[in-house]
Amino acid sequence: RTHHSARSRSVCAAALMYCSISGNAPEKPVVSSKSGHLFEQSVVEKLVQATGKCPVTDEPLSLDDLLPIKVGASIKPRPVASSSIPGMLSLFQNEWDALMLEMYTLKQQLETVRQELGHALYQHDAACRVIARLVKERDDARTALAEAQPAPQAAAVAPPAETVSQPTEPAAMDIDSTSTSGMTPEILAKFTATSKELSKGRKKRQPPADQVSADAIAAFTLLSSHELHATGPVCTDMHLKQPLVATGGDDGVVVLFDSAARAIKATLKGHTGPVRRVRLHVAKPLVVSCSADATARCWDADGKLLHTISAHTAEVTDCSLHATGEYFVTASADKSWMLCDLDRGCSILSVKDASAGYSCAGFHPDGLILGTGTEKVVRIWDIKSQANVASFEGHENDVACLAFSENGYYLATGAADSTIKLWDLRKLKNFHTITASANVGALHFDYAGQHLVVASSDVTIFDTKNWKSLANFGEHSQPVTGVCFGSGAAMIAASSADGLLKLYGSA
């Protein structure tokens, strides 16, 4: 009994000992030999190591001055506030109030961050508008300078992009003006005015009312097949407004075909070599063709030969109509491209001495830049200054065809490496590559810029939003060498090396 009473007094004494710092009963109590104050060992040792003083009396204190106290293990009593239901409710209420206060503070901080973010976005938007205005002023100044100097032989400047190389040899090309009129101020003014008008209208232009949907294109079937030429590659073009198809074959013949009546409208004979490209004029009843006989010819819709241009010394591989409707360009294997007057049937200027012959050429929809294919490289030209301003490299074999999208931003190129590369003209780099079933022979964007049709061993249509295939037609027994969309993308004309023309559309 005496022993039990002594143990009880020891436990009570231990329970009455409190740390002079935290105010709680210490688990490992120590006492200062200098001041006599009681502390929790872990707490006071950290303070002494940090300050070297007693936290209560502020006198010098070391770890050797702390004496441990041996006490028996005891169960910590529950706080008075937690020993009853009202006390526990009070604790819960205090915790809830603290939580609500913290949430309110966080909401205020969130609102402040939102305001700061909104202000930053507003500043960014304002900066973008200022940059856009400055870029426009810069472009206007460049245009004014170009108009003031009609035909400068400027050095080409290549934009900084990984896929764009600085032109070296093309920048020093000779511009033949001995037998041509050259780029006059009147022609420059026409080109500039047309470009401004088309560029401004393109931003607000809506797809044609008769534009066919992607679902309808995916359901296209073969409508008819027509043998128009002898065996050999056949090029194709379709009129944007009329049911008219033009084809040119290895037999040197150009055929105008009525796609509605499914009948030949006219046969144009005059070329002495295979026809490489045919182009239908959008606003006039005219046809332009080029051939391996080193000539380009202009015809009317009835088949009458209007002009023959014989300025090239080798095969003319491609031709393209300018947006003004008054000029066209020809590209040749003689390492030159030439700008020609459609009404007069004569050459205006000739840019010569490329590193190799040209395989294809095409005008941008606005008409101020020209794309050409030379071996594995696609070159971009400023028509006004005849300067090679950019070169796209990436194909592993010769470039066979190219096409600009009507949105003005994209250029598609096809090559003998069985790939189609998509180039962003704003960033001057390749942003997507499509693998075809075989070497690419032709490609064409529809007028709305929503679809791309590709000719290889078959015919494939891609959606330009995600570049996924919408439809594929494999009815051709020979490689497809020509392909084109019709009005509203409601019909597709495809020609192949077996001399056949096939029409696809909704049944």
20-68 pLDDT per residue, tens: 887 888 888 999 998 889 999 988 898 889 888 898 888 999 999 999 9
234: pLDDT strictly greater than 60:
yes
In this predicted structure, what is the pLDDT of residue 4? 47
Q: Report the C-alpha gap between 172 and 401 in whole angstroms.
A: 25
Report the residue count for the chain. Answer: 507
308: pLDDT strictly greater than 60:
yes
98-154 pLDDT per residue, tens: 899 899 899 999 999 999 998 899 889 889 989 988 998 888 888 777 766 544 433
Averaged confidence pLDDT in the chain: 86
280-298 pLDDT per residue, tens: 999 999 999 999 999 999 9
Token duo for residue 239? 């009129």
In this predicted structure, what is the pLDDT of residue 73? 64
Res. 81 pLDDT band, cuts 50 70 90: low
Res. 161 pLDDT band, cuts 50 70 90: very low
In this predicted structure, what is the pLDDT of residue 3? 47
CA-derived radius of gyration, the chain:
41
Q: What is the 3-state secondary structure (H, E, C) of 204-222?
A: HCCCCCCCCCHHHHHCCEE
Token duo for residue 137? 């002023």
434-453 mean pLDDT = 94
In the chain, the amino acid numbered 221 is T
Q: Report the C-alpha gap between 86 and 71 in whole angstroms.
A: 34
In this predicted structure, what is the pLDDT of residue 140? 83
Tally Cβ neighbours within 10 Å of residue 111: 10
In this predicted structure, what is the pLDDT of residue 171? 43
Res. 76 pLDDT band, cuts 50 70 90: low
Q: Comparing C-alpha atoms, which of 390, 426, 386 is closest to residue 408?
A: 426
233-246 mean pLDDT = 94
In this predicted structure, what is the pLDDT of residue 424? 93
pLDDT exceeding 90 applies to what percent of the chain? 61
316-347 pLDDT per residue, tens: 999 999 999 999 999 999 999 999 999 999 99
In this predicted structure, what is the pLDDT of residue 10? 44
Which residues face 435 on adjacent strands? 419
Res. 480 pLDDT band, cuts 50 70 90: very high
Sign of the dihedral defined by the CA atoms of residues 366, 369, 373, 377, in that order: negative
Lowest mean pLDDT among 27-31, 200-204, 445-449, 499-503: 200-204
In this predicted structure, what is the pLDDT of residue 180? 61
Res. 414 pLDDT band, cuts 50 70 90: very high
Q: Comparing C-alpha atoms, which of 161, 98, 175 is closest to residue 381?
A: 175
Q: For 385, how many CA atoms within 13 A lie in the half-sphere containing its CB? A: 23
